[in-house]
Chain A
Amino acid sequence: MITVALPKGALLDDSIRLFQAVGLDFSAFLDKSNRQLQISDPTETAKALLVRAQDVPVYVEYGQAQLGVVGYDVLREKTPQVAQLVDLGFGGCRMSVAVKESSPYRSSLKLPLYGRVASKYVQCAREYFDALDLPVEIVPLYGSVELGPITGMAEAIVDLVSTGRTLKENGLVEIDVLYHSTARLIAHPLSYRLNADGIQTVIEQVRSLVLARV
């Protein structure tokens, strides 16, 4: 039986709708009274795991889930060994550098040497500033990164921005974009090579659905 890892949070609704459209119904996860972390679709042809977005590629890399939906931002940060098969088009956002509105720094390159940058995306932030050859100190945080510049702990943040509302409401402005991200369909490489449990059919259905939407 195919197992699909689905991310909690922003991508869940779209992911469930996507699989519903190819005949796999995991909408039980949307039911507020649901506490189950693993469910089968009503036709008993596939299972779904409800996991944190960062954990989706882990389940897929180990092969406990053959397929998964996850944002490119997570793939970029964790570089898991998974097959990246379809750009699903939803969950669009960008990884940006942001500073306080009152900050004198208006581009990443202008940030002070050895300045502090707070981020949940430590790997990605480090790569970016290394590529700019700008030595900064990356401060790892697990949430509410916006507080870094507000409290004065950091000059800037590197974080995911979708509408920009959170930044605005916290008095921050974007000064640079590292990359754009969307949700992706990923697969366990060995299962993909062996077409285990006929996952190729599901992948093709998802692909044609996404192509048809464009």
Chain B
Amino acid sequence: MVYQPPAGARDLLPLDVAQKRWIEDRLQQVFHQWGYHRIITSTLERLDTLMAGGAIQRSAVLQLQGLDEEDLGLRPELTASIARTVVTRIVDATYPLRLYYNANIFRRAQETSHTRQQEFYQAGVELLGSGGLLADAETLLLLMDCLQSLGLSQWSIVLGEAGLTRSLLSVFPSTIQSTVRQSIATLDRITLETLPMTESLRDRALLLLDLRGTPAEVLQKVSSLDLNPTQQAALDNLKSLIDLLQNTPDTGPQTPDSLVLDLSLIQTLDYYTGIVFEVVSDTANGRQVLGQGGRYDQLLGLYHPQGETAPGVGFALQIEQLHQAIALTNQSPQHIPTSDWLVVPASPQAATAAIAHAQKLRATSDQLRVELDLGGRTPAEIHDYAQHRQIAAIAWISPDGNVKVESVKLE
């Protein structure tokens, strides 16, 4: 019989891994430069941990049965796990905590989605314990630094403010509020045009739906609304944030189009309380979301035994999407690394000497790749093999330890 992988499973072969590592190494270096530390949490979580934030539906989680009938799930994202770990395991946390992760996540394929893929990879950060403007700015600038380190230049960040948008939605009667929210989240203008409501509410709904564009334009439009002090404060904060980003010369937005302010950017269900954002690549293959994130100031409290909360902000980058965007730039490795040396025992008696020579070569540099010929091949076959694998040097070892070096003319 043929053993097939489950539908939606993917295997990564050595070249895929080399390219994935290329991305991850660069991201990791940026995370380190900004003072972030890696955290590894459990792949398996209790289902209630995963769903506590309210943004994850049971149907999206791949579930497993634990001991004692405990409902478990494979994590569909990392923020819930990190929030749980931080408030329950790091008792005397000195804030701010700067954490990053690089991990696999699992999502159950939905009936309506075109992909059957269930396992994905994400790298991201969580900056915990600081609610201020600078924490928001750091997160966005760090994100932009990540994109630059990967050599990506065609991208835009779509920035919203979930707290402000939610607050602007509170004028709608509770009977239609969730429909209005969902219609704005999914950009369904037709529903907003036909839903029964007063003309002034409809104007407000349609205004919210199209509250996007250059930051200056949008800020102008919002400030013309009748804002309460909380909304005004959120708007002022947003204004200061955009100033900070636009005045950071090397890392900040590269072109006027790379920062779009979009107050319709909300999810149908989420735990975001402040800024929210998506980073979108614009390549020959089309536009796609490379990553997303936002501020969640109430989430940690959900996991704390006494309900004490701490502010948090973070983002996750989708490694597969980065992979596709980078493939077009031809920067990541196009081949798996070749070995530098093939060490060949000239006869079975030369094995000890050959192993010793290979070790000696490996000791000269930790960059050197040295492989041992495992016997059973004629010298002609060994030459063919070296040629095929693009190994430039062969060391022929005789039983007395004599080394004959031959350089292979690679075709």
Contacts and interface: CB of A to CB of B under 8 A. Distances in A.
Interface of A: 58, 61-64, 78-81, 83-87, 184, 187-196
Contacts of A85: 187, 189-190
A85 B288 CA distance: 20
A93 B219 CA distance: 42
B288 A184 contact: no
What 8 pairs between A and B have smallest CB-CB spacing? A83-B187, A63-B286, A190-B287, A84-B190, A84-B188, A85-B189, A79-B112, A63-B287
B289 A190 contact: yes
Contacts of B212: 193
B190 A191 contact: no
Contact of A196 (B112, B189, B287): B287
Contacts of B388: none
Contacts of A81: 186
A187 B210 CA distance: 14
Contacts of B189: 83-86
B282 interface: yes
Given A58-B114, A190-B280, A195 B186 contact: no
A67 to B, nearest CB: 13
Interface in B330-377: none
Given A190-B288, A190-B289, A193-B260, A184 B190 contact: yes
A192 B278 CA distance: 14
Given A63-B286, A64-B286, A192 B187 contact: yes
Interface in B84-124: 112, 114
B262 interface: yes
A63 B288 contact: yes
Q: Give chain B's interface secondary structure class.
A: strand
B28 interface: no
For chain B, the bracket of interface size reads 20 to 34
Given A79-B112, A188-B287, 15 more contacts: A83-B187, A83-B188, A84-B187, A84-B190, A85-B187, A85-B190, A86-B190, A87-B190, A87-B193, A184-B190, A190-B288, A192-B187, A193-B212, A193-B260, A193-B280
A151 B288 CA distance: 48
Nearest to A81: B186
B280 A194 contact: yes
B112 A189 contact: no
Contacts of B80: none
Contacts of A63: 286-288
Interface in B187-220: 187-191, 193, 212-213
Interface in B12-59: none
B157 to A, nearest CB: 10
A127 to B, nearest CB: 12
A191 B288 CA distance: 9
A38 to B, nearest CB: 15
B284 to A, nearest CB: 11
Contacts of A87: 190, 193
Given A58-B114, A78-B112, A194-B260, A189 B288 contact: no
Given A58-B114, A188-B287, A196 B187 contact: no
Given A193-B260, A194-B260, A62 B286 contact: yes
B265 interface: yes
B158 interface: yes
Interface string B222-243: 0000000000000000000000
Contacts of B193: 87
A87 B114 CA distance: 26
Interface in B148-168: 156, 158
A187 B189 CA distance: 11
A194 B112 contact: no
User: Which among B212, B262, B286 has the highest number of chain A CB atoms within 10 Å?
Assistant: B286
Contacts of A83: 186-189
Of A86, A190, A193, A195, most buried by chain B (CB within 10 Å of CB) is: A193
A70 to B, nearest CB: 12
Nearest to B189: A85
A191 B287 contact: yes
A190 B158 CA distance: 9
Nearest to B191: A84
Contacts of A84: 187-191
Contacts of B257: 194
Contacts of A194: 156, 158, 257, 260, 280, 282, 287
B211 to A, nearest CB: 11
A190 B213 CA distance: 13
Contact of A193 (B188, B190, B262, B288): B262
Contacts of B282: 194, 196
A129 B264 CA distance: 34
